[in-house]
Chain A
Amino acid sequence: GDSVTQMEGPVTLSEEAFLTINCTYTATGYPSLFWYVQYPGEGLQLLLKATKADDKGSNKGFEATYRKETTSFHLEKGSVQVSDSAVYFCALSLSGGGADGLTFGKGTHLIIQP
């Protein structure tokens, strides 16, 4: 079946460090790919998405590129801040998206130290 694999962490970085959170997927079709973020005590928020190969999603300094050849959607940020501390979920969706639900990775807990 469809699945998403991401590094689980926790990942601990110093402020202003470069961030990469790896995400790879397995899917029978051509999925849309997402990164969601969950801040402490809150629900999930969409961070960015890409709907086809070579698309780049970006938001709040975060970027991820849909790589079909490596079935990957790695999340990057050039300079992280303490406020970026959260849990990050990679997810995929088939059949045009949300009507069938999202398949999530297990989440990566990111801790940024001042």
Chain B
Amino acid sequence: DVKVTQSSRYLVKRTGEKVFLECVQDMDHENMFWYRQDPGLGLRLIYFSYDVKMKEKGDIPEGYSVSREKKERFSLILESASTNQTSMYLCASSSATLEGTDTQYFGPGTRLTVL
């Protein structure tokens, strides 16, 4: 069964802290994504990666960075957390095959609160 896991369901951090959100998929997918979900705004793409060590900016990359050292793992990094980064963060993955790229599989999400 397809599975995307995220390291924490809930996280509370203080302003200025460096925050790591981890995502692991077990489907051997090439593509991985980080979104944030906010009420009234839907999901917005932060960063994505189509291969190990490759990364591309999404729609709202400011204040974030990512790391993909292994195919199955994609990390989102908040270099210096701010209160406006309080949000639900969702990781997703998809296959790079022509038929598979359309469908993204999502993790359960990490609800991050920055105080």
Contact = CB atoms under 8 A, between A and B. Distances in A.
A96 B102 contact: yes
A45 B92 CA distance: 10
Contacts of A45: 106
Nearest to A109: B39
Contacts of B48: 99-101
Contacts of A44: 43, 90, 92, 106
Interface residues of B, number: 29
Contacts of B100: 97-98
Contact of A43 (B31, B41, B58, B108): B108
A8 B102 contact: no
B101 A104 contact: no
A46 interface: yes
A53 interface: no
B114 interface: no
B108 A106 contact: no
Nearest to A42: B108
Interface in A40-75: 41-46, 49, 51
Interface residues of A, number: 25
Interface string A72-114: 0000000000000000010001001111111011110000000
A25 interface: no
B103 interface: yes
Contact of B102 (A98, A104, A106): A98
A42 B35 CA distance: 15
17 contacts: A8-B40, A41-B108, A43-B109, A44-B90, A46-B103, A46-B105, A49-B103, A97-B100, A98-B33, A98-B94, A98-B104, A101-B33, A101-B58, A102-B43, A102-B104, A104-B42, A105-B42
Interface of B: 4, 31, 33, 35, 40-45, 48, 50, 58, 90, 92, 94-96, 98, 100-109
Interface of A: 8, 32, 34, 36, 41-46, 49, 51, 89, 93, 96-102, 104-107
